Homo-oligomer: A and B are copies of this chain.
Amino acid sequence: MAGSIFGNIFKISTWGESHGKGVGVVVDGCPAGVPLCEEDIQIFLNRRKPGQSRFSTPRAEDDVVEILSGVFDGKTTGTPISLVVFNKTQRSSDYSEIASYYRPGHADYTFDMKYGFRDYRGGGRSSGRETIARVAAGAIAIKILGMLGISVMAYTKSIGEVEIDMNNFDEAEILKNMLYMPDRIAAEKASELVDAKRAECDSVGGVVECVVKGLMPGVGETVFNKLDASLAKAIMSIGAVKAFEIGDGVNVAKTLGSDNNDSFMINGAGKVCKETNHAGGILGGMSDGDDVILRAYFKPTPSIFKEQHTINKSGENIDINIKGRHDPIIVPRAVVVVEAMTALTVLDLLLMSMTSDINRIKGFFSDNAN
C-alpha cells in the first residue's frame, strides 16, 4: 500500500529524497483546460525554499520546478502532470556519521525497523524536502480552487509562547515577514525568541492556522470521508505535526452546548449564514458555507545542536552532537505546506461532491449533450 499517494479523484503520487537526484510529484486526475505554467508553481515553492531567512537552513537550493508532462498549449490536458525539482547541493558527507545511530525525534529507528535499512543521507525520504512535492501539487489545486472562487490562506499563528493578536491581523503582512505572521509586532517578538533559542542550540515549536473562504456548502462525505477528518489526515501527515483542530478545536471540550452551537440566521442580503463559527465551517463532516478554519501544532525541530543521549545500531548507549544545516523552527516554511495540503483535500472532496445528487448529475449531462 505504501504511503506516497494521496487523494481519490485529484490524486498525487510523490517521490524523492533529501540527497537523491531530486523530488517530484505526478498529479493524476487534474481536469483538462486549466491554464498552467511553471511560474504558477514556482511562486509557492519559493515560499518554502531554504535560505529565505536566518531562521531557515542555509542550504542554498534554488528548487526550480519543471513540468515534464500533462500540459499542452499552456493548458492541462487531463492526463498526468509530472513535476520535478532536481536537487543541487546535496552534501552527503555531512550525514555519513548519522548512519550509525538513531537521532532522537527522527524516523531513523522506525525506518530501520520497518525496511531493514535506510537512506540515511539527510533523512532520506523522511526529510522535509519531501514537502516540495506537496507544495508543487498544492499550487495546482489552489489555482483550480481559485477558478471556482475559493481561496486558501495559511499563516503562522504562534511560535512558542508568542501568539498573534487577532486585532492586529494584517493579511498583507504574512508574506512580508520571515515568519509568515499576519501581525508585525508578534513577528518581531517571535524572531527574538527564535534567535535566543538558536543561540542556546535549541529549537522551538508553533502553530499554523489556515482559512478556506468561498467554499460552497455540501463538500465532504458522510461518516468516514468527512471534510474535517480528511483535512486531519492531510495535515497530520506533514512531518512534525502532533495535533490538529477545526474551529474552536480543543476548547470545545470545556464549553457548553449553548455556547458552542452556532445559530443559523438569514442575513441582510437574504443569505443563510451563522451567527458564530465555532464549528470552523464544517457540520456533520460537510462544509456549511462559512469559512473553514483549521490549526496544525508543530513540534520543535528535532535536530538540535545540544548534546543528546541515544543508541547506535550496535545497541550501545551513546551521546551525540548533531551537525549539518537545520532550521531552529519548522513552522515558517511549513505554512505553505499546510496551505497545499488543505487545498489538495478540499479540491478532492469538492470534485467528489459533484456526484451526490441525481438531479444535478442530470443537469450536468443535459447541459453537455452534443
Complex Cα gap A131–B126 (Å):
31
- Known contacts A216-B369, A256-B202, A287-B110; decide if A33 and B358 are in contact (CB<8 Å): yes
A345-368 contact mask (Cβ, 8 Å, vs B): 1 or 0 = 000000111111111111111011
B6, A1: Cβ atoms closer than 8 Å: no
- Known contacts A2-B221, A218-B114, A253-B298; decide if A69 and B16 are in contact (CB<8 Å): yes
A202, B237: Cβ atoms closer than 8 Å: no
Copies in the complex: 4
Q: Out of B82, B222, B248, which one reaches A24, CB within 8 Å?
A: B82
B69, A21: Cβ atoms closer than 8 Å: yes
Chain B residues near A218: list those with CB within 8 A: 110, 113-115
A316, B147: Cβ atoms closer than 8 Å: no
Of the candidate stretches A43-51, A169-177, A178-186, A260-268, the one touching chain B is A260-268
CB-CB contacts below 8 Å: A270-298 with B: 270-272, 275, 279-280, 283-289, 297-298
Best-buried of A34, A197, A280, A297 by chain B (most CB within 10 Å): A297
A293-325 contact mask (Cβ, 8 Å, vs B): 1 or 0 = 000011111111010111100011100000000
Complex Cα gap A82–B309 (Å):
36
B5, A102: Cβ atoms closer than 8 Å: no
Closest to A364 in B: B364
A309, B263: Cβ atoms closer than 8 Å: yes
B115, A33: Cβ atoms closer than 8 Å: yes
A68-90 contact mask (Cβ, 8 Å, vs B): 1 or 0 = 11101101111111101000000
- Known contacts A32-B115, A69-B20, A216-B370; decide if A261 and B14 are in contact (CB<8 Å): no
Q: Out of B5, B75, B234, which one reaches A13, CB within 8 Å?
A: B5
Best-buried of A144, A202, A205, A246 by chain B (most CB within 10 Å): A205
Chain B residues near A161: list those with CB within 8 A: 254
Using a Cβ–Cβ cut-off of 8 Å, how many residues does chain A contribute to the interface with B?
169
A300, B242: Cβ atoms closer than 8 Å: no
B244, A299: Cβ atoms closer than 8 Å: no
A4, B222: Cβ atoms closer than 8 Å: yes
Complex Cα gap A100–B66 (Å):
29
A243 interface residue (CB < 8 Å to B): yes
A261, B104: Cβ atoms closer than 8 Å: yes
- Known contacts A223-B3, A226-B237; decide if A125 and B79 are in contact (CB<8 Å): yes
A59 interface residue (CB < 8 Å to B): no
- Known contacts A3-B224, A28-B5, A116-B32; decide if A362 and B78 are in contact (CB<8 Å): no
A211 interface residue (CB < 8 Å to B): no
A58 interface residue (CB < 8 Å to B): no
Closest to A82 in B: B15
B356, A361: Cβ atoms closer than 8 Å: no
A168 interface residue (CB < 8 Å to B): no
B29, A2: Cβ atoms closer than 8 Å: yes
A86, chain B: closest CB distance, angstroms: 9
Beyond contacts A113-B289, A261-B302: 6 other A-B pairs, Cβ-Cβ < 8 A, are A2-B80, A4-B222, A33-B357, A73-B117, A78-B114, A125-B223
CB pairs A–B below 8 angstroms (28 shown): A1-B8, A9-B355, A13-B80, A15-B69, A15-B70, A15-B81, A16-B82, A17-B79, A20-B69, A24-B26, A33-B116, A107-B284, A107-B285, A110-B285, A113-B286, A114-B219, A114-B286, A116-B359, A158-B253, A203-B256, A207-B253, A232-B233, A242-B280, A243-B246, A252-B298, A253-B298, A264-B311, A354-B355
